[in-house]
Structure 1
Amino acid sequence: MKLRSYSFPLAANLESLALLGAALQEFFQGAPPDALFQLELAANEAFSNIVRHGQCGAHPVRVTLARKPRYLEVVLLDRGRPIPAAALQPMAPDPQRDDPQSWPEHGMGILLIRQMTDEYRYRPGGMGNEQRLIKYVLPRRQS
């Protein structure tokens, strides 16, 4: 029987990206390749942002992978600085596909995460900052 969830600490450094990718590939083995690629890309971006901007110091990032009947989930919990509220807001004006001059040089990480996942949730708190990335592998149920 496959594990439904797996939690582990990762050192808050860019060298840990390879370990994160390997863990996702192994744990979510058999998932649709496109969904897994998009989730891994989003998780790598979220983890990179924690390392680059969170100032976690020696505190590891707690990673939880979960395989639900309809979706795959990655939760990253860190004890660094919270994401600034402005970074969580939609970008305006929107970059134009055919006009590279309109593309921002920085600040595209959250947008990329949202584009690659079906749900992105962020919650700062006393126990740390939680980022929850969800990728559906079966259609969502209508409410």
Structure 2
Amino acid sequence: MAHPGPCAEHGYYSRVFDATPEAIRAILCSAARYLRLLLPEDVAGSVEIVLAEILNNIGEHGYSAGCAGRIRLSLMLDKSDLFCTVSDRGDEIPAGLFQTGPPRCSRPVPADLPEGGFGTFLIRDLTREIHYRREDGCNLITFHMTV
């Protein structure tokens, strides 16, 4: 179950929820409503794609089979920038997976990518900056998008 966060008019959205498909789906719907109150449709859609990829990956791969876990999501809108933090206590994410790389010249061919490779490409392509670190058993993913 999600915990309520501050109102959208304050430009801040925060939730803590179970890492289950149902809870993730509910949070994505809630975040989509919030984003559409404050952002143009195309920008909100891009943020939703990034959030869906990150949250679904945590739900699918972050916790060992049978282990329950929680995810914390925070979004903060500051003028023309959106900052997001996602944290969980699941399994460590492979090194370098979410680091911002050099500019991409072309989109990859989905059939040539490893399992999950296109989702990671979308995340990296749509964010201005993305960083991952593991600290005290906690995964912390932060990203920044210009809106």
- TM-score class, shorter: 0.7 to 0.9
Change (3 A) 1:72 1:96: closer
What is the match of residue 25 of structure 1? 32
Q: Could you list the runs of 5+ residues in structure 1 that have no partner in the other structure? A: 138-143
Match of 1:70 among 56, 69, 80: 80
**Structure 1 residue 66 displacement after superposition:** 1.0
Q: Deviation per CA, 1:25-54: give whole Å up to 9, x if none.
A: 232213011111111101110011111111
Q: Which has the higher contact order (CA 8 A, sep 6+)?
A: 1
Q: Secondary structure at the match of 2:130?
A: strand
Change (3 A) 1:100 1:83: closer
Q: If the length of structure 2 is used for normalisation, what is the TM-score? A: 0.76
Larger gyration radius, structure 1 or structure 2:
1
The structure whose residues are more often helix, as a share, is: 2
Q: Secondary structure at the match of 1:81?
A: coil
Distance in structure 2 (CA, Å) of the matches to 1:112 and 1:53: 18
What is the match of residue 136 of structure 1? 146
Change (3 A) 1:71 1:14: same
**Structure 1 residue 74 displacement after superposition:** 2.4
Identity %: 27
Distance in structure 1 (CA, Å) of the matches to 2:39 and 2:106: 32
CA contact (8 A) 2:98 2:124 kept: no
Q: If the length of structure 1 is used for normalisation, what is the TM-score? A: 0.78
Q: Could you list the runs of 5+ residues in structure 2 that have no partner in the other structure? A: 1-7
What is the match of residue 39 of structure 1? 47
Count how many residue pairs are aligned between Structure 1 and Structure 2.
Answer: 132
**RMSD over equivalenced CA pairs, Å:** 2.6
